[in-house]
Structure 1
């Protein structure tokens, strides 16, 4: 079985597949770019996306048999610890002109789309943040994040930005990295990322069913994903 899966599933995927009885070959990448590959004719049995929109687009185009939701995620901020002031919270950090902000690429990577929604929910302050933010990962021409590195860790410790806006499923791992601080974003402003599969062939249906199982949900929850 061949699967194309959102990059944010890379860390948890081996644990999931260890409980699935059939061998699975998986390639990871930004979900929007993976969808384009399927639209261009690349073969796979299942596409695991970090949003509903890309699987639904494949279904509407007649390229998928069904769409199956299986998990959720949220956003968080990762900040270089030594730039934080005692009075800083998530909103004040984003509003500081002295700090550079990095994000994923909207359109190509759903994390970038969710981040744009965050800026909109922040109102006028968010528009100023939007103008300052730079999309450094997840795009067609973005430098790939090195294997074994987290995007926020690589961007911030590599000196490209002081703040990275990304998925909260990485928060536990990022909190273990010296020099980084993770700040939660309140639900009022945060965006719920809805993960869903596009079942491309009958062979993919079994895996989609497994991803909806209690066993799978327990593994995803342990890895920081919601139901």
Structure 2
């Protein structure tokens, strides 16, 4: 039986088993998935690692593979945005998301730009803040500690959310990450999750690259009602 070798962005880790199980049930095609930050996965593919299908948290990585001739087709399959998670007992009545980011006494953690799209989107968020509040976005870039999503970052234990673990282990007081994690994070009594409003927030566009003919059925399945429903149940938004 054919087994597809898929490389998928780490933020898909919770949703992916359900997506794959539904696909295999319908098609009879087995899937093996390896997760890592999408920027690092792209580097692995460019270095020659075998891959049938690449699911990225940034559409630019699949498009780059297409331009290089390493993919035969690309598309979009989900969207995401950012949120701010903070230690609940540090939030005062007057704090909103931006006030918290500005507090000098709080340590801010993020993912790593270039290696992880979450870091790229966070830096774009800082640029959006800079446009509306000159000097503030640059300050946040200098303040942010890129603790996850890079080759030399701390290792978050399997099954733990980065925001939850970093705050619980006192590596940070707040973390900017994907809003798809918000429902699970809001279930942690010691944490508070704040939405980042649309004028500042980014839309993360999740793209795929079909790197072999064998993966075309899976690419088509990601657009199906079944796959989209599963992704929505895990906090992702539609690209339509």
Tell me whether the two structures share a fold, i.e. TM-score over 0.5. Answer: yes
Structure 1 position 93 matched with structure 2 position 100: yes
Residue 36 of structure 1 aligns with which residue?
Answer: 43
CA-atom RMSD in angstroms: 0.7
SS in 1 for 2:187: coil
Q: 2:55 aligns with which of 48, 51, 62?
A: 48
What aligned pairs does 1:185-224 form with structure 2 within 5 A after superposition?
Answer: 185-224=196-235
SS in 2 for 1:19: helix
SS in 1 for 2:22: coil
SS in 1 for 2:235: coil
Superposed CA deviations along residues 72-98 of structure 1, whole A, max 9, x for unmatched, are 000000000011010111110001111
Residue 70 of structure 2 aligns with which residue?
Answer: 63
How far 1:13 sits from its partner (Å)?
0.5
TM-score (norm 2): 0.93
Distance (Å, rounded) in 1 between the aligned partners of 2:220 and 2:156:
31
Structure 1: stretches of 5+ with no match in the other structure: none
Distance (Å, rounded) in 1 between the aligned partners of 2:233 and 2:159:
20
Residue 188 of structure 2 aligns with which residue?
Answer: 177
Structure 1 position 10 matched with structure 2 position 13: yes
Structure 2: stretches of 5+ with no match in the other structure: none
Distance (Å, rounded) in 1 between the aligned partners of 2:214 and 2:124:
35
Distance (Å, rounded) in 2 between the aligned partners of 1:177 and 1:18:
28
Superposed CA deviations along residues 12-59 of structure 1, whole A, max 9, x for unmatched, are 001111111221000000000000000000001000000111101101
Distance (Å, rounded) in 1 between the aligned partners of 2:141 and 2:99:
14
Superposed CA deviations along residues 78-137 of structure 1, whole A, max 9, x for unmatched, are 000011010111110001111000000000000000000000101122211111001000
Residue 135 of structure 1 aligns with which residue?
Answer: 146
Distance (Å, rounded) in 2 between the aligned partners of 1:119 and 1:166:
13
How far 1:217 sits from its partner (Å)?
0.8
Distance (Å, rounded) in 2 between the aligned partners of 1:73 and 1:10:
14
Greater shift in the superposed pair: 119-128 or 89-98: 119-128
Distance (Å, rounded) in 1 between the aligned partners of 2:48 and 2:127:
35
